[in-house]
Amino acid sequence: MIEGGPARHRKHELGSGVAGGDLSHAYLLFGGNRSLNNELGEKIISMMEEEPEVLLDGLVVENKTGASIGIEAVREIIHFIWQKPIKSLKRSVFIKNAEDLTTEAQNALLKTVEAPPPSGFIIFSVKNPENLVKPLLSRLQKIYVSGSCEEVPEDEFALAVKFLKSDSKAKKDIIGKVLDKESNQALENFIKSLLVECHKDPLKNFDLMRRLTDRFYKISEFNTNKKLQLETLM
């Protein structure tokens, strides 16, 4: 079902990334749990609005009936996203629990995701990315949604917060401190803490969250230079 009701979040001044057109047009929120993914997705859609008390230029797509999200819902999404924004910079769609999309519906979204209108913006939320068909998955900028940092030592969390506020030289020094510990857990804690902090202002930090996800995947899965991977975040 598709909703365009009241937004539950405060008005947000659009970050420079949005105003400058630096956002990608399609993102995938994954990991954590469904409620965290959906909470972040709803917050972002609300923030995209010029007047977020009501979603004039945003749609939230959600399966509430227990049935799948089919081709008819996708046709509504495509029609909506190709309309010009009423007041906002973007015409935005958030698809909750996108694993509920049928294969036919996912394939029907491919063309719009690949070649969207200039003002189009779409977010998918899944717990496991593998639940989406590969052609669609490959076209989405992926952002890992981290949970809480309750298990992260306070000094390690503080280091991540300092990193976000520092200049390039200080950031390089912080990366050195993290890697000097020669601990995979310390590295994971650092990236997890950065993600949690980025969630506080997701529009401003969208690109950083995407790059964090990409760097963490490469560090975890491949024999790569960790220092060089982290320095790309600067």
In a shared domain, residues 190 and 129: no
In a shared domain, residues 228 and 158: yes
Q: Band the pLDDT of 229: cuts 50, 70, 90.
A: low
What integer pLDDT is reported at residue 145 of this predicted model?
A: 85
* Overall average pLDDT of the 62-91 stretch: 91
In a shared domain, residues 138 and 154: no
pTM: 0.75
What are the strands, taking DSSP E only, across the chain? Answer: 2-3, 26-30, 58-61, 91-95, 120-125, 141-144
> Residue 210 is which amino acid?
R
> Residue 154 is which amino acid?
E
Among candidate residues 145, 160, 189, the one where a domain is terminated: 145
What integer pLDDT is reported at residue 207 of this predicted model?
A: 83
Among candidate residues 112, 145, 178, the one where a domain is terminated: 145
**The total number of structural domains that make up the chain:** 2
Cα torsion at 31, 7, 120, 24 (round to 10°)?
-40
In a shared domain, residues 19 and 123: yes
Cα 227 to Cα 191: distance, rounded to the nearest angstrom: 13
* Overall average pLDDT of the 188-212 stretch: 83
Say which CATH number the domain at 61 has: 3.40.50.300
Q: For the chain, give the mean pLDDT.
A: 81
What integer pLDDT is reported at residue 124 of this predicted model?
A: 96
In a shared domain, residues 135 and 192: no
Q: List, for residues 77-126, the tens digit of each pLDDT value.
A: 999 999 999 988 899 999 999 999 999 999 999 999 999 899 999 999 99
DSSP string, 152-188: S-HHHHHHHHHHHHS-HHHHHHHHHHHHHT--HHHHH
In a shared domain, residues 4 and 104: yes
What integer pLDDT is reported at residue 144 of this predicted model?
A: 86
In a shared domain, residues 48 and 137: yes
In a shared domain, residues 186 and 229: yes
* Overall average pLDDT of the 209-233 stretch: 70
Q: Which domain holds residue 14?
A: 1-145
In a shared domain, residues 233 and 141: no
In a shared domain, residues 26 and 101: yes
Among candidate residues 92, 118, 145, the one where a domain is terminated: 145
In a shared domain, residues 179 and 90: no
What integer pLDDT is reported at residue 213 of this predicted model?
A: 84
* Overall average pLDDT of the 191-206 stretch: 83
* Overall average pLDDT of the 16-35 stretch: 70
Q: Any idea which of 44-48, 70-74, 185-189 has the lowest mean pLDDT?
A: 185-189
What integer pLDDT is reported at residue 2 of this predicted model?
A: 43
In a shared domain, residues 168 and 141: no
What integer pLDDT is reported at residue 106 of this predicted model?
A: 96
Give the residue with greater pLDDT, 21 vs 225.
225
Indicate the SS3 state at residue 18: helix
What integer pLDDT is reported at residue 61 of this predicted model?
A: 94
* Overall average pLDDT of the 200-212 stretch: 83
* Overall average pLDDT of the 65-69 stretch: 83
